[in-house]
């Protein structure tokens, strides 16, 4: 697996295609097949009891794996989630979250990986993800 979109370019591209991520997510580490992303938690991410909501945790793992996929395929915004299975391990309160995701299989049409989400040093969620990779377009199709 070779990185085709290094971290600064990846962060810029993610903000370009999803401007709503700009103040919400930051990439702290990118290596071949692994990525770490932080989600900056706000009141919008909380459910009653000041617990971070499941949809917010899902958004983090999905965005992190999407970014990892883009780092390997380049500027192909049409890569899409085909499956996610997420396990909520422990509830967490209002604190930024760190997602560590890795690519387990990188094929021509599908890629499969996993993600671990931490609040400080505490594991709060685990996910398995599959993404569909768009077919390569020729110059005439662009």
Segment 52-63, tens digit of pLDDT: 999 999 999 999
Residue 28 lies in a domain: yes
Residues with Cβ within 8 Å of 11's Cβ and at least 6 positions away in sequence, in order, are 26, 27
Q: What is the CATH number of the domain that holds 120?
A: 3.10.129.10
Strands (E), the chain: 25-31, 34-39, 46-47, 51-52, 80-88, 97-106, 110-119, 122-132
Whole-prediction pTM value? Answer: 0.91
Residue 2 lies in a domain: no
**Buried-exposed string 15-28: b where 16+ CB fall within 10 A, e elsewhere:** eeeeeebeebbebe
Please report the sign of the dihedral spanned by the C-alpha atoms of residue 101, residue 127, residue 67, residue 19. negative
DSSP 8-class letter at 69: H
Residue 1 lies in a domain: no
Q: Is the pLDDT of residue 134 over 90?
A: no
Residue 140 lies in a domain: no
The number of beta carbons lying within 10 Å of the beta carbon of residue 132 is 15
Number of domain units in the chain: 1
Residue 50 or 84, more confident = 84
Distances (CA, A) of 125 to 38, 60, 62, 67: 14, 10, 12, 18
The average confidence (pLDDT) of the chain is 92
Q: Is the pLDDT of residue 142 over 70?
A: no
Residue 17 lies in a domain: yes
Residue 139 lies in a domain: no
Range of the domain at 127: 7-132
Residue 52 lies in a domain: yes
């Amino acid at each position: 697996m070779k990185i085709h979109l290094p971290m600064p370019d990846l962060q810029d591209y993610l903000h370009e295609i999803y401007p709503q991520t700009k103040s919400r997510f930051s990439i702290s580490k990118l290596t071949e097949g692994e990525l770490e992303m932080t989600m900056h938690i706000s009141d919008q991410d909380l459910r009653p009891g000041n617990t971070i909501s499941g949809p917010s945790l899902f958004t983090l793992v999905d965005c992190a794996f999407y970014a990892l996929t883009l780092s390997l395929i380049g500027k192909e915004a049409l890569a899409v989630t085909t499956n996610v299975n997420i396990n909520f391990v422990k509830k967490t309160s209002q604190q930024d979250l760190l997602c560590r995701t890795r690519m387990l299989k990188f094929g021509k049409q599908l890629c499969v990986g996993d993600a671990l989400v931490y609040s400080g040093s505490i594991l709060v969620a685990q996910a398995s993800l599959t993404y569909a990779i768009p077919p390569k377009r020729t110059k005439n199709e662009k």
